[in-house]
Amino acid sequence: MTTPLGSGQHLTDRQRVAWLRLIRTENVGPQTFRDLINRFGSAEAALSALPELASRGRAGTPIRPFSAEAAEDEMARTERFGARFVALGEPSYPPLLRRISGAPPLLAVKGQSAALQLPSISMVGARNASLSGIKMARKLASEFGKRGYAVASGMARGIDAAAHEASLDTGTVAMLAGGLDQPYPPENMQLFEMICERGAAVSEMPFGWEPRARDFPRRNRLIAGVSMALVVVEAALRSGSLISARYAGDFGRLVFAVPGSPLDPRSAGTNGLIKDGASLATGADDVLDALEPLSGVPGPRDDSFSEPPDFDAAPPPDDDDRARVIEALGPSPVTIDELIRHTSAHPAQIFMILLELDLAGRLERHPGGGVSLIL
């Protein structure tokens, strides 16, 4: 049995390799990882079951679990880089990040673990930031640090870089879209090295992974999930910072936006956030005063394996069960409870069919627990 999430224990070396193999296997994301552990009790047992499960879901090509040799090689390369893997549930895993839905089972971390344990505030904003926006970001980050908060961001140029630079002495955390050895953008390499020396850099991506456009929203999810609040300083209407704000709202975090001139397109996104209900921030006290009543108050927990269905209470799903579920699914998300009511199938059967479809690459998961069929 693997170490339960949230137990505060450490994985053994063998368990850590098995966890890395499982999360690096094609079509296994954080939620699928958790479902597999719920069903089979350990990563090793889940790895053995993967090929058969994927074939039941009618995968186009046979699924091949990530090899032990490749996992051991990635771990060795990560260690030579001066980094380490931290598992969900281990003491050094960021405490608020473990509470989000779909928290990464493993994080690669380089730097000071203490920075990950501080209460934190995330800051994001425009890459082509104005001088006043950069000054505001530095002022906010500096004040947050003086009050005992780490500052988390994505190490992008502009607002992100300014927030990191202003909080180097008090605690800063960089969430990366690529592997730890592929910090982006390249011109921030010196900043990356300073963050690793005095704060911490974090990635859920494989070592050596070069970031692509679709990896940045995934990174934004970590920025939103690691902190108690998210502050947006300058953002255009189509800015990735608004994705971070949406994630923060979904996770129940406080969202703040610094207002700007209606004549500056770099403020259109932040002004829009305020119209949509984000809190206005014109200084650090606006954020700190709102967070003060929340200090020490635990948020909703999502850091332990949920109780799986009773698999002995129903027979395994057959082809007719699978056909009913697939017929009920479509491109629009539905909840699992809706699937159970519509098909009259046992929750354990629904659980297994969705897991099979997921591993076959035919299922898409949505925020809030919705699922849809990839056509």
> CB-based contacts of 351: which residues, under 8 Å, 6+ apart?
35, 39, 308, 309
Phi-psi region at 352: left, alpha or beta (left = phi > 0; alpha = psi -120 to 50): alpha
Question: Nearest CA to 339 among 351, 331, 29, 168?
Answer: 351
Give the span between the Cα atoms of 369 and 69, in whole angstroms: 34
Q: What is the DSSP letter of 334?
A: B
Whether the predicted pLDDT of 234 surpasses 60 = yes
Q: Which amino acid is at 361?
A: G
Which numeric CATH code is attached to 1-111? 3.40.50.450
The class level of CATH for 114-294 reads alpha beta
- For 250-307, what is each residue's pLDDT tens digit? 999 999 999 999 999 999 999 999 999 999 999 999 999 999 988 654 444 444 455 6
Exposure of 5 in the CB half-sphere (CA atoms within 13 A): 30
Identical fold between 1-111 and 114-294 = yes
At 366 the pLDDT is 83
- For 72-104, what is each residue's pLDDT tens digit? 999 999 999 999 999 998 999 999 999 998 899
Q: What is the DSSP letter of 300?
A: -
- For 340-371, what is each residue's pLDDT tens digit? 999 999 999 998 999 989 999 999 988 777 89
Question: Nearest CA to 87 among 166, 165, 189, 14?
Answer: 14
Q: Which alpha helices (DSSP H) does 29-168 contain, by range?
A: 30-40, 43-56, 68-80, 113-117, 131-146, 159-166
144 pLDDT band, cuts 50/70/90, is very high
Average pLDDT for residues 39-45, to the nearest whole number?
94
Architecture in CATH of 313-373: Orthogonal Bundle (1.10)
Domain limits, the chain: 1-111, 114-294, 313-373
Q: Write the burial class of residue 253 (CB in 10 Å: 0-12 exposed, 13-18 middle, 19+ buried).
A: buried
At 307 the pLDDT is 63
Residue bearing tokens 């425009």: 126
At 61 the pLDDT is 78
Give the span between the Cα atoms of 152 and 146, in whole angstroms: 15
- β-strands 84-87, 371-373 pairing: unpaired
Whether the predicted pLDDT of 217 surpasses 90 = yes
Lowest mean pLDDT among 4-8, 26-30, 40-44, 283-287: 4-8
